[in-house]
Structure 1
């Protein structure tokens, strides 16, 4: 199946700026992120497709080749990226983590105690932890420091995380001699073949405990509760994930701590609706106020501001309060507050009110005229309500 046009994938024009392309990808990535669409294969495919499109259009040189030659200009080795679509989800998260700002690493997976090799010996890696943090619009607008309690494994104080009594009850592994690796020689038709692997006796650590720590039973870690401070930047969105390095589980018998992964959740505002960096507010006006004009108080994330509603304001009119929206992550741009005017029509009126309305109905001012905005009054009311 042929690939879709990358501009079509991100829903941007071919003349879109780099910032517009970045913003479009960011929106797609959040919409189709696997964490928000668990088990949804179609969403995962769209997530990968958007990442592939941004990998090309987000790079000036690759974008120029793509504009000139299409997919053929960025395929294979010359594409320098997804090529035939062989990158894994982890590759995508690692490659595009910076799109969400400096504090937002890849949406990495989570597992048990891992490990890596350093100088031939195995280095333990603590597992990552994941927590959810709910934020109000005000906290999102300004950024906030959150202190949360996390149940986690920490390094044992009694043995300094070594797992050995007093931190010194160690000896070199008798199997590998302290190297952490064993070499095996096998005879084959091609001659002798040597292979190296982690020592099965010490699990690649190069040493064994002669006397275990009584407090942690030789693991070097204890489960406890810790308060972690998290600095959340302004402008984050629902579904974003913040990575706090080294605040995950401690590694068994020393090594590298895992990370704390913080999933952002938004609390709904009672009056404001978020649309990216913009905010939307529905202002309800009575018919007399719409006709005669009136001052109105509009809520923002910080306080309230007063605006003047001009006489003859039509239903559906949008007032834009610039800079009263939300900031974007790691950007100087701030969105606007859009005030949508709704006119409330009463469904029941008194006899006196009905007589007054009948008189007004006969007035020339209340008679729709060709080309007059009032011709669309009822259709607009239908759209709004």
Structure 2
């Protein structure tokens, strides 16, 4: 071989990968065209880049030590006006100048984040008001137990792509009237993965994950309501090839309640009482979320009045305290009276001077109670 890549980098033939990388970085800082634009220096820089590309790749280095130079096969590994091949170590060059990494497509592709999931959770009013621990079941992607997310058949492992050296992308520098132009594209051999799976896992087909229905216990906080969304970060589908999980979004669906209507954190209900109870007053037993509660109905209560029980509504979400319970009173007027009941009401009307309400009926139309009786068919 005409060129000795070890000599070009100034390292021993048994140098470690770390020693090779350090030598390359030192020479790259010294010879890069942006630092030293001399044409001879650019040719020297090209040789350094080629030497590093071969010696930094274990497979290419092994072939080189056996006497095969990848850059001596009619440009098989090279290409482009400057000779920088498809496997040009752009990331390592950026490391040399900026002390960091631009990242590789392989890391981005293989560690894609899993999909987020939306799960509808139906709850009763009592569960949304006070909170509940709930078991939810949903389909999702989980790590394949056969290959543990690696995607390969038992006893095998992913192989580093020999075209991109595991970077997942290949770069090429060409000359144009604007100067040197760097282009980067996904590696065509590994499709940007950085590794190649020769023997895929039979259970997950090389994806490293399978779909299952799972059941998870979740804590629903007090005070949620219909339409509330709860995010469970990192609890969604696992990403391909062991990538990080997505999220779960729980969408709360509150079932209608037979008694209460919810408005925010307040509850509303309607209580129908007889005319006599509204007139004389009474003590009523009302169902609340906390159990039966006695309320006093004051004498002379009219239909439409509202009785409020403070702190008997739903808990505030992420805040102390509760809403109120509003009881709407409806007074029921009797529609059918027997003779005795009619007589008593007539007597009451006479005592109150209400047997003939002024301006309501003209002579010959009958009195107030006869009109009621005729309208409702009282017997």
Shorter-chain TM band: 0.5 to 0.7
**Count of matched residue pairs:** 253
The match for 1:210 among 189, 195, 198 is 198
Task: Work out whether residues 115 and 246 of structure 2, in 8 Å CA contact, stay in contact via their aligned partners in 1.
Answer: yes
2:294 is matched with 306
Residue 167 of structure 1: how far off its partner (Å): 7.1
Q: Does the CA contact (< 8 Å) of 2:133 and 2:219 recur in 1?
A: yes
Match of 1:144 in 2: 132
Of the candidates 244, 247, 268, which is equivalent to residue 256 of structure 1? 244
Which whole-Å CA distance do the structure 1 matches of 2:128 and 2:170 have between them?
53
Is 2:150–2:157's contact at 8 Å kept on the other side of the alignment?
A: no
5+ residue gaps, structure 2: 1-101, 358-379
Partner of 1:341: 329
Distance apart, 1:324 and its partner CA: 0.4
Local SS of the residue matching 1:169: coil
State the TM-score, normalized to the length of structure 2.
Answer: 0.62
Superposition pairs of residues 1-385 of structure 1, within 5 angstroms? 120=105, 121-122=107-108, 123-166=111-154, 168-364=156-352
How far, CA to CA, are the matches of 1:260 and 1:367 in structure 2? 69
Distance 1:191-1:341 versus aligned 2 partners, 3 A rule: same
C-alpha deviation, 1:265, in angstroms: 0.5
Q: Where does the alignment leave 5 or more consecutive residues of structure 1 unmatched?
A: 1-116, 370-385
Aligned-pair Cα RMSD in Å: 2.3
Deviation at 1:210, TM superposition (A): 2.4
**CA gap 1:259/1:146 in 2 versus in 1, 3 angstroms:** same
Q: Whole-Å Cα distance in 1 between the matches of residues 114 and 155 of structure 2? A: 19
* Structure (1 or 2) with the larger CA radius of gyration: 2
TM (normalized to structure 1)?
0.61
TM-aligned CA deviation for residue 350 of structure 1: 2.5
Distance in 2 (CA, whole Å) between partners of 1:118 and 1:262 is 34
Structure 2 CA distance for aligned equivalents of residues 189 and 298 of structure 1: 88
Describe the shift of the 1:361–1:125 C-alpha distance in structure 2 as closer, same or farther (beyond 3 A): same
